[in-house]
Amino acid sequence: MHRQILQDKLSQHSPIDETEALMLLDILEFVAQHKNCFDHTLSIGHITGSAWIVDQERSHALLTHHRKLDRWLQLGGHSDGESNTLEVALREAFEESGIEEIRAVSEEVFDVDVHLIPARKDEPDHYHYDIRFLLEADRNAPLVVSEESNELAWVPLDEIETLASDASIQRMLRKTRELKY
């Protein structure tokens, strides 16, 4: 039962392109096959929740320079058993930014992505089946860099491409520019 809410949200998601559509199918299959899909201990992969945080003007997005991956990314992380992926995204957004007032623009899934996480000394390489939500925060709120990051920055949408060339970041950027709300 705990997977049904996510499966319902995913079945209502409209991918922007063929790449995202294929990843959506991968995630749906993964969730259907693994009752423990939200557990970090599932060594082949697990569901993660991410926060694509924009300001009220939709002119900037908050990015983190991830310490372990050495790349600029959206905020987010492991579900740690929590099946409400929107709550995971909100929790991770707060933990990784220190911003106390972050709100979901919509409860709908904003984007999905499947990506390989490289092996580390204590865990094998595995996949993150990432469920991403559009969140909003005040760009003037104080930021607190967590131990997971080297830096946090509100980046103008027009400058994101120079910092983050990752295809999934570019896809969320494209979606942000097309927002109707």
pLDDT digits (tens, 9 = 90+) for 12-55: 999 999 999 999 999 999 999 999 999 999 999 999 999 999 99
Domains of the chain in start order, with CATH, are 4-177 (3.90.79.10)
What pLDDT digit, counting tens, does each position of 156-172 carry?
999 999 999 899 999 99
Task: Inform me whether the pLDDT recorded for 64 exceeds 90.
Answer: yes
The per-residue pLDDT for range 108-148, each reduced to its tens digit, is 999 999 999 988 888 899 999 999 999 999 999 999 998 88
Whether the CB-CB separation of 89 and 109 falls below 8 Å is answered with: no
What is the structure's pLDDT at 175?
96
CA distance 177 to 20: 17
62 CB contacts (<8 Å, ≥6 apart)? 53, 54, 55, 75, 97, 99, 137, 139, 143, 152, 153, 154, 155
- What is the H or E stretch that residue 31 is in? helix 18-33
Greater confidence (149 vs 144) lies with 144
pLDDT for position 123:
84
Question: d(Cα 128, Cα 77) in Å, to the nearest integer?
Answer: 9
Distance, in Å, from the CA atom of 156 to the CA atom of 146, rounded to the nearest integer, reads 22
